[in-house]
């Protein structure tokens, strides 16, 4: 009976075929933009696309996105449809880690540099026209830079400041700017904050903070909130899953600053898109805070990255947070001011994890099953890049499907610049029996480059099989890291994990956490924070990774509270009891 009902539902909704729904209400990290091919290579025969260090701003009721080495920026009216803008003026070398801000009716832009560079401005950022605000800044007094700059305008005092620094030796610096002299420097740069990995576990380098290299502090950003100044920074390094944002808090834009005991502010070491460091904090058009970041891909080079954005805010105590819980699952786009930090989560769960996959062809050892392992560093490669190559994911039983994400990999790519011939076209099909197929998405009429294409269905469908059919891409090889399917399996919610234990290590930066596995769980979220009602941090771990976690991100001398929840293909369990560890 359930199979008959599934077929009826499928027939009802299968005619809704589209490329990207004009009524799309959700987004999914990484942000679905045409990530540009990067000229910065280690090997002249291998290319990759990347973006990092994002800054998102609002200007005259619209959004603008700037990122590292992109030869321009993006423009959007809704935080979903991003159109690339090519500027009419640009530095001789592309911009890295851009500083951008809006003050009144003007948008300002500055590149990272260790030398002298101009500050640009525009009042028409949608058409790419730039003017010189300052044709050449003087040499930075008192420090090298500004690399990874942030320019901050204090609306309360109408004074201007710059923050900068990217080093595992030197601190984050700050300096005041003279607006009457075209933002020339006032006095000398002042060292403001630095890393203390011996006290702050999350500031240790390496995967899960297990490296031995001195960590890097970089990516400064200043936010004023209720009279407090939150100087944000990124660490310990962009090349690993633990890249995160932290903050110091002060009463003045140049300090002194106090380390926030709840750090890190934005942290996403688990899941598909890992890493949340080096971005910015901005208001959307409804007054909600967001925090952007740089997740890690690292296929062709360690610095191959993408862009994510997370709902963020400040609680009643002034504690800053960024909500990375289910941070790479579909979320609703904002339509109003929200009160609950989880309000934008759709509840559409991951249906494709570790599911079987079957391909029309396979190159060498690049297996089809790689597209369901939630790892962007493993991938399927087809024998050819010709139209008709296909791969099918078997969800094992009929599910309600709401959305899909197709993530491409630049396997042995030879493209070193993005142009009008760089775009991706494909079709998606669904079936309940692997025999009768209905087309549910068609990008054959689009010429958009979408290496992380997120497709939300106009109406949900019931399907067991999802098939990708290749049409076109400029890269020489068809390689896909992950086909992610989201929805619900119409079963029961998982039980709350029992027997949660948490023990602080003799090294207080670490804690050992364990729980009893939940039958049918896809994974778990370990939630923690500095109060039982402040569990703002999340470490997502899949069920087949085990029932233990060594959490190495804690601050010495700080008490913590820890809880856990399980999730499956239907939804999320109730949260466990909260454990207090000292």
* pLDDT for 14: 38
DSSP string, 357-392: EEES---TT--GGGGGSS-TTS-EE-S--STT-EEE
CB 285 within 8 A of CB 218: no
Structure tokens at 378: 């493993």
CB 51 within 8 A of CB 37: no
Burial of 45 per CB tally in 10 Å (0-12, 13-18, 19+): exposed
* pLDDT for 21: 63
DSSP string, 31-69: P-S-PPBPS--SSTT-B-B---S-EEEEETTEEEEE-TT
H helices then E strands: how many in the chain? 1, 37
* pLDDT for 50: 87
Structure tokens at 394: 């078997």
Answer yes or no: pTM beyond 0.85. Answer: yes
| Start-to-end CA span in the chain (Å) | 54
What is the rounded distance in angstroms from the CA atom of residue 344 to the CA atom of residue 342?
6
- Rg of the chain on CA atoms, in Å: 24
* pLDDT for 416: 87
Closest among 137, 134, 142 to 187, alpha carbons compared: 142
* pLDDT for 92: 74
CB 118 within 8 A of CB 134: yes
Q: Which domains, and CATH codes, for the chain?
A: 2-20+353-488 (2.60.120.260), 48-328 (2.115.10.20), 501-581 (2.60.40.10)
State phi, psi for 6 to the nearest 5 degrees: -65, -40
Task: Give residues with Cβ within 8 angstroms of 530, minimum separation 6.
Answer: 261, 262, 319, 558, 559, 560, 561
Residue 103's DSSP bridge partners are: 106
Q: Torsion angle, CA of 209/211/213/219, rounded to 10 degrees?
A: -30
* pLDDT for 438: 96
Task: Give residues with Cβ within 8 angstroms of 22, minimum separation 6.
Answer: none
Closest among 263, 250, 144, 118 to 202, alpha carbons compared: 263
* pLDDT for 2: 35
CB 301 within 8 A of CB 42: yes
* pLDDT for 40: 65
Mean pLDDT split into 10-residue runs, the chain, 582 residues: 37 43 89 88 76 97 96 96 94 89 97 94 98 94 97 97 98 97 96 98 98 97 98 97 98 98 98 98 98 96 94 98 98 96 98 98 97 98 98 98 98 90 97 98 96 97 98 96 97 97 98 98 98 98 97 98 98 98 96
Closest among 488, 483, 499, 561 to 522, alpha carbons compared: 488
Structure tokens at 543: 């069920």
């Amino acid at each position: 009976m359930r199979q008959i009902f599934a077929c009826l539902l499928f027939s009802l909704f299968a005619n809704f075929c589209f490329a990207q729904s004009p009524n799309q209400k959700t987004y999914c990290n990484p942000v679905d933009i045409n990530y540009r091919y990067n000229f910065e290579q280690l090997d002249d025969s291998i290319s990759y696309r990347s973006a990092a260090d994002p800054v998102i701003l609002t200007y005259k009721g619209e959004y603008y996105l700037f990122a590292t080495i992109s030869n321009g920026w993006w423009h959007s009216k809704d935080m979903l449809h991003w159109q690339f803008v090519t500027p009419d003026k640009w530095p001789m070398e592309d911009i890295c880690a851009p500083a951008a801000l809006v003050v009144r009716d003007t948008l300002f832009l500055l590149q990272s540099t260790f030398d002298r560079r101009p500050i640009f401005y525009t009042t028409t950022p949608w058409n790419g026209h730039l003017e010189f605000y300052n044709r050449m800044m003087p040499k930075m007094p008192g420090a090298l830079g500004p690399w990874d700059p942030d320019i901050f305008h204090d609306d309360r005092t109408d004074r201007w400041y710059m923050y900068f620094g990217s080093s595992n030796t030197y601190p984050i610096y700050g300096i005041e700017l003279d607006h009457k002299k075209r933002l020339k420097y006032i006095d000398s740069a002042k060292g403001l904050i630095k890393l203390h990995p011996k006290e702050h576990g999350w500031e240790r380098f390496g995967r899960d903070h297990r490296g031995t290299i001195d960590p890097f502090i970089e990516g400064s950003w200043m936010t004023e909130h209720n009279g407090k100044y939150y100087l944000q920074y990124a660490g310990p390094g962009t090349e690993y899953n633990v890249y995160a944002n932290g903050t110091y808090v002060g009463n003045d834009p140049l300090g002194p600053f106090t380390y926030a005991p709840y750090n890190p502010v934005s942290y996403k070491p688990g899941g598909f898109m890992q890493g949340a460091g080096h971005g910015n904090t901005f208001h959307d058009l409804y007054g909600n805070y967001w925090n952007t970041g740089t997740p890690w891909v690292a296929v062709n080079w360690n610095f191959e990255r993408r862009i994510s954005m997370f709902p963020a805010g400040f609680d009643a105590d002034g504690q800053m947070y960024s909500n990375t819980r289910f941070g790479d699952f579909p979320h609703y786009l904002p339509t109003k001011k929200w009160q609950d930090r989880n309000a934008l989560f759709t509840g559409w769960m991951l249906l494709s994890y570790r599911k079987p996959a079957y391909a029309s062809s396979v190159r060498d050892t690049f297996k089809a099953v790689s597209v369901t392992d939630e790892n962007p560093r493993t991938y399927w490669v087809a024998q050819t890049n010709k139209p008709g190559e296909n791969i099918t994911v078997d969800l094992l039983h009929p599910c309600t499907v709401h959305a899909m994400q197709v993530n491409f990999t630049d396997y042995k790519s030879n493209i070193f610049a993005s142009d009008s011939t760089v775009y991706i076209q494909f079709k998606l099909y669904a079936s309940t029996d692997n025999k009768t197929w209905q087309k549910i998405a068609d990008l054959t009429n689009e010429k958009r480059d979408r290496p992380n294409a997120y497709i939300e269905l106009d109406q949900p469908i019931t399907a067991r099989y999802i098939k990708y059919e290749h049409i076109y891409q400029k890269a020489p090889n068809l390689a896909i890291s992950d086909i992610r399917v989201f929805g619900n399996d119409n079963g029961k919610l998982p039980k709350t994990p029992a027997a949660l234990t948490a023990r602080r290590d003799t090294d207080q930066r670490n804690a050992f956490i364990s729980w009893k596995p939940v039958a049918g769980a896809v994974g778990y979220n370990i939630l923690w924070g500095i109060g039982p009602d402040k569990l703002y941090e999340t470490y997502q771990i899949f069920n087949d990774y085990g029932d233990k976690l060594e959490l190495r991100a804690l601050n010495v001398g700080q008490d913590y509270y820890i809880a856990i929840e399980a999730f499956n293909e239907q939804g999320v369990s109730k949260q466990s009891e909260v454990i207090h560890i000292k």
